[in-house]
Amino acid sequence: MTQEQTIPLFEEVVNGWNKLSLSGGVKKESSDLRRARQSAFDKFRELGFPSIRNEEWKYTNLARFLKDEFTIEGWEVPGKTVVPDAALVKKAGITLLDCYQIVLVNGSWDGTIGGGTLPKGIQLLKVAEARQDPALSVYFEKQAAWGDQHFANLNAALFTDGLFIRVDAGVTVEKPIHVIHVYTSESNLLVQPRNVWVVNRNAELSVVESVVSGGTAKIWVNGLTEILVHQDARLHHTMIQTAGAGVRLVQQTTVHQHRQSLYNNFTITLPGADLVRNDLQARLEEEHTESHLYGLYLAAGHQLVDNHTLVDHQKPNCLSNELYKGVLLEQSTGVFNGKVYVHKDAQKTNAFQQNNNLVISKKATIDSKPQLEIFADDVKCSHGSTVGQFSEEALFYLRARGIGEESAKSLLINAFAFDVTEKIRIPEVEAHVNELISLHIPVNHA
Amino acid sequence: MLTIKNLHAEVEEKQILKGINLTVNAGEVHAIMGPNGSGKSSLASVLAGRENYRVTQGEVIFKGENLLDMSPEVRAREGVFLAFQYPIEIPGVSNINFLKTALSEIRAHKNLPPLDAKEFLRMSREKQKLVEFDAQLVNRSLNEGFSGGEKKRNEIFQLAMLEPALSILDETDSGLDIDALRIVSKGVNKLRSENNAFIIITHYQRLLEYIVPDFVHVLYDGRIVKSGTKELALELEEKGYDWLKEESREKATTI
């Protein structure tokens, strides 16, 4: 049986492709970009949506999420924006954080920036415009990089909007950019934001992304973010996912790192969205790069949270450090798959990975899979994975001081998360994340 | 304040306490001594509500209420404090935040409003001084990386902050050097009053030179086999526990 017969979204995607060829501003795009879209679409059509027979999706069964019908929105009026719900934007706001704030609604930005005028040397553009700009088109044409990745190909074929950021060489942007992604709809929707961020030589930027949702419908977000961190550049990237019920969030982030660059990533997932699948890929393409990947996932309800990471050590003398911590509540399911690939050339690689899980409820599960593939012989690599429960001793100690069982558990969850949250470089963001953790620990854990 | 009657308890189906009787009144300090494995720490655990202990017989009345019916946190809020023999390290929970949470839950239980930040800070400073506890340790993660002595001093600092009616010190002197022992004892002596009571569990007489008890009890094989005043502790120091073991065995056979 083909997917056309079983998955309504597959049919909608094919229809969408036909519509896109006629409108959506694609005609104004470069011929290379149009070719890239075509081959991405052909690839997706060949691959279809992933099933559990696919190794990368073994523990994440999409069947129950793909039953619903979704409509693709975007190309009738490319770049069209919905006015964001003020309450949602407020919810995503970070108390006391001095930042530039921009809001994307269903992947589109209206061009307004809160928090002051941007300094010289940084450009923010709508992707709806950037993709038609001959000078920027090159950033959207790299289809070959998506390989056999189902959702990345789907996005590469059909994307219409998103956020383009470029920082000029030598520029340090002092204030972080807070990007609030609002997803809201009254009818089921497939949204495919495409973001491209370029941090040029010796430039520095901090981006904090918050994902929130509203409305009553189901929304499938298939996000694709491509990041280029050039020589000596530094990018600090935090993603806080607090989308609510009905949202299926598939986010692929691919980072290309050049010589002596630094990339810090914090991926924080909180209870809410039905499905979260993060694919974070750090490609260390030149020597002496440094990458730190920190993750914290708190899953509850029937949520499925899957973090797939890839650290691709292509060249010698690079350092990668990865720490993912998970707290599984209620009937939630967590998946962690951390692949570290050290190429034959990548001698003197230092690659460290750790995944720790706290399973609070008897009905919650976690599949943790470290995956090291090392082809160089002079490297330092380590990995570890643990699954545990509350320490009874610690719980008793807190209770013996008058702290109720629920508060004690809440304190211990915060403490467990602390190894990750303390690394967040911006104190206001750290406080915000800690608050979210406390807020989302349900009263009844069982 | 506390009445223990014929208390029997087991852990992992092994009988540990075999009929303890003890009455502690406000203003009193009771020392409980005894050889290893006699049930001293088990008694402390049962009183604090450690869940792997099962009470099979007897009762414990604390301030007129059945203590054994209460959860560990309710016992603490009612005024029972156990200074742990091995305080737990909890990385990521700050000492001060932990105390703030504990104090506000205890106050809420007594229908008192939480202390505001300023009052709390003032109280914390005052108590730090009282028990000679290093201010830098207050802001660190709970017991993380503390030396053995620092952990024990932190227990006494917590005791000072939470102002319990009944404090049970479980081998607080073990692992302390003479200076730390002196500081801990000084703290306890300052906290003693006619309204509170202490049960001091110790293996050695040494601690009792600093904290002078009103009563000394010897625990052996799950029972209190001898009670007396502070002189009993000295006698034990001199003669060891063997003579009591003999005595207790004789008693057991004659009954």
B147-185 residue pLDDT tens: 988 999 999 999 999 999 999 999 998 888 888 899 889
What is the structure's pLDDT at A5? Answer: 59
pLDDT tens digits for A158-174?
999 999 999 999 999 99
Give the distance from residue B152's alpha carbon to the nearest chain A alpha carbon, in angstroms: 14
Collect all residues of chain B within an 8 Å Cβ-Cβ radius of residue A416.
92
Closest CB from A396, A411, A417 relative to B101: A411
What domain count does chain B have? Answer: 1
- Would you say residue A256 has pLDDT above 70? yes
What is the structure's pLDDT at A4? Answer: 60
- Would you say residue A78 has pLDDT above 60? no
pLDDT band at A374 (very low <50, low <70, confident <90, very high): very high
- Residue A45 makes CB contacts below 8 A (sequence gap 6+) with A14
Q: How many helices (H) and strands (E) does chain B have?
A: 10, 12
How far apart, in whole angstroms, are the C-alpha atoms of residue B221 and residue B210?
27
Interface touch A398/B98, C-beta < 8 Å: yes
What is the structure's pLDDT at B247? Answer: 75
The token pair at A378 is: 């002079």
Q: Find how far residue B146's CA is from the centre of its chain.
A: 20
Half-sphere exposure of A307 (CA within 13 A, CB side): 31
Interface touch A402/B49, C-beta < 8 Å: no
**Touching check for A406 and chain B: CB below 8 Å?**
no
B91: nearest CA partner in chain A: A415
Asked if the ipTM is above 0.90, the reply is yes
Collect all residues of chain A within an 8 Å Cβ-Cβ radius of residue B102.
398, 401-403
Q: Which stretches within chain B are classed as H helix?
A: 40-48, 72-78, 95-109, 117-130, 135-138, 148-162, 178-191, 206-210, 230-239, 242-254
Least confident of A206-210, A415-419, B96-100, B246-250: B246-250
Collect all residues of chain B within an 8 Å Cβ-Cβ radius of residue A393.
88
What is the structure's pLDDT at B178? Answer: 87
pLDDT band at A80 (very low <50, low <70, confident <90, very high): low
What is the structure's pLDDT at A287? Answer: 98
Give the distance from residue B50's alpha carbon to the nearest chain A alpha carbon, in angstroms: 7
The token pair at A394 is: 């610690």
Least confident of A82-86, B51-55, B178-182: A82-86
Q: What is the mean pLDDT of residues B78-104?
A: 94
Interface touch A415/B76, C-beta < 8 Å: no
- Residue B122 makes CB contacts below 8 A (sequence gap 6+) with none
The domain that contains B50 carries what CATH number? 3.40.50.300
How far apart, in whole angstroms, are the C-alpha atoms of residue A290 and residue A320?
6
Half-sphere exposure of A204 (CA within 13 A, CB side): 8
pLDDT tens digits for B98-107?
999 999 999 9
Cα angle value B152/B39/B145 (rounded, 5°):
20
Residue from A137, A154, A182, A184 nearest A28 by CA: A137
Q: Phi-psi category of A79—alpha, beta or left, where left has phi over 0 and alpha has psi -120 to 50?
A: left
Q: Residue B163's domain spans which residues?
A: 2-254
Closest CB from B51, B102, B141 relative to A401: B102
- Would you say residue B139 has pLDDT above 90? no
Cα angle value A99/A102/A108 (rounded, 5°):
160
pLDDT above 90 covers a percentage of chain A that reads 81
How far apart, in whole angstroms, are the C-alpha atoms of residue B153 and residue B132?
8
What is the structure's pLDDT at A192? Answer: 95
- Would you say residue A142 has pLDDT above 60? yes
Q: What is the mean pLDDT of residues A325-344?
A: 97
Three-state secondary-structure class, residue B29: strand
Chains A, B: CB contacts under 8 A, how many?
80
Give the distance from residue B33's alpha carbon to the nearest chain A alpha carbon, in angstroms: 23
What is the structure's pLDDT at A15? Answer: 87
pLDDT band at B36 (very low <50, low <70, confident <90, very high): confident
Mean pLDDT of chain B: 92
**Touching check for B197 and chain A: CB below 8 Å?**
no
- Would you say residue A24 has pLDDT above 80? no
pLDDT band at A79 (very low <50, low <70, confident <90, very high): very low
What is the structure's pLDDT at A441? Answer: 76
Q: Which residues of B213-224 are buried (b: 16+ CB within 10 A; e: fewer)?
A: bebbbbbbbbbb
Collect all residues of chain B within an 8 Å Cβ-Cβ radius of residue A399.
49, 71-73, 76
**Touching check for B71 and chain A: CB below 8 Å?**
yes
**Touching check for B70 and chain A: CB below 8 Å?**
no
B107: nearest CA partner in chain A: A402
Q: How many helices (H) and strands (E) does chain A have?
A: 9, 21
Comparison of pLDDT for A232 and B147, the residue scoring more = A232
Question: What is the identity of the amino acid at B247?
Answer: E
- Residue A247 makes CB contacts below 8 A (sequence gap 6+) with A183, A213, A218, A219, A220, A221, A272, A273, A274, A275
DSSP percent split of chain B into helix, strand, coil, nearest 5: 45, 30, 30
- Would you say residue A182 has pLDDT above 90? yes
Q: Which of A395, A399, A405 to mutate to test the interface with B (most CBs of B within 10 A)?
A: A399
Highest mean pLDDT: which range of A364-378, A411-425, A432-446, B124-138: A364-378
pLDDT band at A306 (very low <50, low <70, confident <90, very high): very high
- Would you say residue B251 has pLDDT above 70? no
What is the structure's pLDDT at A445? Answer: 44
What is the structure's pLDDT at A123? Answer: 96
pLDDT band at A330 (very low <50, low <70, confident <90, very high): very high
How far apart, in whole angstroms, are the C-alpha atoms of residue A384 and residue A227?
28
Phi, psi of A198 (to 5 degrees): -125, 120
pLDDT band at A410 (very low <50, low <70, confident <90, very high): confident
What is the structure's pLDDT at A267? Answer: 98
**Touching check for A391 and chain B: CB below 8 Å?**
yes
Looking up tokens 């289809």 gives A143
Mean pLDDT of chain A: 92
Looking up tokens 């056979």 gives B253
pLDDT band at A1 (very low <50, low <70, confident <90, very high): very low
Comparison of pLDDT for A408 and A78, the residue scoring more = A408
- Would you say residue B125 has pLDDT above 70? yes
Give the distance from residue A296's alpha carbon to the nearest chain B alpha carbon, in angstroms: 15
